[in-house]
């Protein structure tokens, strides 16, 4: 395994909202290795975007890092206080493709101008050279007639095309780490497959480290070397792609896999996880997933489980892995995902 390029230690993030405190990130430890592609998967509101925004100093103004460190090349990003410090990292070291393409594009500027801006700011390119490069990148992200599209405004693009423009801007920054927040949800499956291929190619070419934030485990199977499963502001399972799909250990991972539409049967309800995620305004006791977990043990409601190591690359925070726990099998429909693939191809 390569060196860690980014190390997160005991990270906690809180938001203040009308006098109340929301604990969005509750003590995350994670090493991101140079050149890997790591997927962060979890339910809506689990804190995936907030977690990654801390690497770029992009938390909303009512949010703060209250504890922990984010070590990047020996520097603790969590200690940054000024915009100036962040500007040395943002874009040129770590770039992020945001979840909502429309909000990260300036509606008043042509897409070409916006890509050129990034090229000028981060790679020092000017004038025609910047324009040529911008058109090349637009072509790279799969936009046809790039030269004509260069002069158009974001509203003249379809939802999926806007997302590709946002990826083009991030690529124009030439970063070391590229964070893609739901990079392909707005894209149709064929383009999605193309973008993932493109991102993989960019990753190889520029030795990029990529973080994919997504809830779509299908996409994850294609691109991820490793998967971190997030729940309620915490990573509950971490392993290689194969480990998480073929030998998932946390009941929350089981639930996520079970609810994949690919495993659904027409005419029957899709499996959906009962209940709702915990209210992060109040303190979470025990395993945050316990109230929704049909396999929960008594201790899950009382004490937060530690990580249990399954293999040197695989660990999960669930009491079910304690040697004293009763033996529980994962749900029927996810026991043999290898066979699912074989059947469909």
Question: Residue 266's binding partner, choosing from ligand ATP, Mg ion, other proteins, none, with beta-carbon cut-off 5 to 8 A by kind?
Answer: other proteins
Question: Residue 275's binding partner, choosing from Mg ion, other proteins, ligand ATP, none, with beta-carbon cut-off 5 to 8 A by kind?
Answer: none
Burial bucket for residue 162 (CB in 10 Å: 0-12, 13-18, 19+): buried
Question: Residue 63's binding partner, choosing from ligand ATP, other proteins, Mg ion, none, with beta-carbon cut-off 5 to 8 A by kind?
Answer: ligand ATP
Q: Contact 25/54 with Cβ under 8 angstroms?
A: yes
Q: Binding of other proteins at residue 59 (CB under 8 A)? A: no
Q: Binding of Mg ion at residue 294 (CB under 5 A)? A: no
Report the candidate in 15, 56, 52, 13 with the shortest Cα–Cα distance to residue 30: 52
CA distances in angstroms from 229 to 13, 41, 65, 307, 329, listed in the order given: 18, 5, 21, 13, 19
What's the CA gap between 97 and 195, in Å, rounded? 13
- For the record, the structure tokens of 249 come out as 């250990």
Q: Binding of other proteins at residue 140 (CB under 8 A)? A: no
What's the CA gap between 67 and 10, in Å, rounded? 7
Binding part of the chain for other proteins, among 122-130, 201-209, 210-218, 308-316 by CB under 8 A, reads 210-218
| Chain center to CA of 194 | 19
CA distances in angstroms from 40 to 120, 224, 252, listed in the order given: 31, 9, 14
Binding part of the chain for other proteins, among 64-72, 88-96, 297-305, 337-345 by CB under 8 A, reads 337-345
* CA quadruple 60, 63, 68, 74: dihedral, nearest 10: 20
Binding part of the chain for ligand ATP, among 46-54, 88-96, 193-201, 312-320 by CB under 6 A, reads 46-54
The 8-class DSSP code of residue 215 comes to S
- For the record, the structure tokens of 266 come out as 């027409």
Q: Binding of ligand ATP at residue 188 (CB under 6 A)? A: yes
Provide the minimum distance between the beta carbon of 164 and ligand ATP in the complex, in angstroms, as a whole number.
9
Provide the minimum distance between the beta carbon of 139 and other proteins in the complex, in angstroms, as a whole number.
15
The residue behind tokens 């996409």 is 219
Among 6, 41, 50, 337, binds ligand ATP (CB under 6 A): 50
Among 159, 204, 294, 303, binds other proteins (CB under 8 A): 159
CA distances in angstroms from 24 to 53, 191, 215, 284, listed in the order given: 12, 33, 17, 11
Chain positions contacting Mg ion, by CB under 5 A? 49, 99, 159
Chain positions contacting ligand ATP, by CB under 6 A? 15, 17, 22, 24, 42, 44-50, 60, 62-63, 99, 155-160, 188, 215, 280
Chain positions contacting other proteins, by CB under 8 A? 17, 42-45, 49, 60, 99-103, 156-161, 182, 185-193, 215-219, 221-222, 241-242, 245-246, 255-257, 259-264, 266, 269-273, 276, 337-338, 340-342, 344-345
């Amino acid at each position: 395994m390569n060196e860690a390029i980014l190390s997160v230690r005991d990270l906690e993030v809180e938001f203040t909202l009308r006098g109340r405190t929301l604990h969005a990130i509750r003590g995350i430890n994670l090493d991101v290795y140079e050149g890997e592609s790591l997927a962060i998967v979890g339910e809506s509101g689990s804190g995936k975007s907030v977690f990654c925004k801390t690497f770029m100093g992009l938390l909303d103004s009512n949010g703060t890092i209250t504890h922990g460190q984010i070590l990047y090349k020996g520097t603790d990003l969590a200690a940054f206080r000024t915009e100036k410090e962040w500007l040395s990292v943002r874009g040129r070291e770590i770039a992020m493709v945001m979840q909502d393409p429309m909000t990260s594009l300036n509606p008043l500027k042509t897409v070409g101008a916006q890509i050129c801006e990034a090229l000028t700011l981060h790679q020092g390119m000017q004038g025609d050279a910047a324009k040529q490069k911008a058109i090349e990148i637009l072509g790279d992200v799969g936009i046809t007639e790039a030269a004509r599209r260069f002069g158009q405004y974001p509203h003249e693009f379809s939802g999926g095309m806007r997302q590709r423009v946002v990826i083009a801007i991030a690529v124009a920054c030439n970063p070391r780490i590229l964070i893609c927040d739901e990079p392909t949800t707005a894209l149709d499956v064929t383009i999605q497959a193309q973008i993932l291929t493109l991102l993989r190619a960019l990753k190889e070419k520029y030795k990029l480290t990529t973080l994919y934030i997504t809830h779509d485990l299908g996409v994850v199977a294609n691109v991820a070397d490793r998967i971190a499963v997030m729940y309620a502001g915490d990573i509950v399972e971490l392993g290689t792609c194969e480990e998480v799909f073929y030998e998932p250990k946390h009941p929350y991972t089981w639930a996520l896999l079970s609810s994949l539409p690919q495993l659904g049967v027409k005419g029957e309800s899709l499996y959906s996880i009962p209940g709702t995620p915990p209210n992060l305004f109040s303190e979470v006791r025990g395993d945050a997933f316990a109230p929704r977990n049909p396999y929960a043990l008594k201790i899950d409601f009382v004490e937060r489980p530690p990580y249990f190591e399954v293999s040197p690359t695989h660990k999960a925070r669930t009491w079910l892995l304690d040697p004293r726990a009763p033996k529980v099998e994962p749900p029927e429909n996810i026991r043999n995902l290898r066979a699912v693939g074989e059947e469909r191809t």
